[in-house]
Structure 1
Amino acid sequence: MGSAHSEAACRAREMLDRVGDKWSLPVISELGTETRRFTELRRAIDGISHRMLTVTLRELERDGIITRTVHAVMPPRVEYTLTPMGHALLDAVGSLVTWAEAHLDEIDAARTGYDARAEQASALTRPPGRENR
């Protein structure tokens, strides 16, 4: 029983790593509203390279999060859309984004306090005559 649970936990971690990478969520978010072509996605996602968009789309397709449709026209037209599972993921992630947005001020205050305490502790343990350089 423990082995099956640890295998499932490992596979779940793998999926969390996928959606937690730098580019998957922006791609999923862009596809949440409508079907998009590759060039539309590339223009909409600031900073993503052609290669990274290609890799991300392939991984999301392999995992069943998006579907890729090739239209037999000249030149070929390829479109990407979220699957029902992809929409469910977008809904779940939306809750996390909402939480983060609602707590930005608290997060900023906590970071400022932590950084001040860390700097103060560092100053106390620094040998005399050794200021920050």
Structure 2
Amino acid sequence: MTRPSEAAASWHQQMVLQETLSLAVPLHIGELRGMSPRALASIASESATTVGSHGDALQFGGKHCAAAFNALARGLAAAALTAPGGVDALGGHWCAAPGCRASSRFDHADTASPEADMPPIPGPRPLADVIRDLTGYQPTWP
């Protein structure tokens, strides 16, 4: 048996991550639904810290891989419940609308609002910006 090329192995890892997130994030959304925005911001902050500290374990494996994966899924779920239109990350889309079949936040932006005075849903933002805004994180570099 020959070893897969580095590109094939990387593609496989990415597909496994996308598929497992497609299952895990909705489970976390169901668990977190109904929590206050403050509690969701706290969860997002904790998740960002864990992923920031052990994100390499997601890529290369190791003893913190499960904790990093769960933190990523939980953080995406917290962001999906608070960001207008949900979040797009790693090839997936998650939002607060149960049963949402949108493929991205752009799909939400095209829907007509029931009330004429409601502003349109803004376009997508990078996940890091959403988490930073939820947690009040301010970078220390210039």
TM-score, scaled to structure 1: 0.30
**Which structure shows the higher helix fraction?**
1
Structure with higher Rg: it is 1
Structure richer in strand, relative to its length: 1
**Higher RCO (C-alpha under 8 Å, 6+ residues apart):** 2
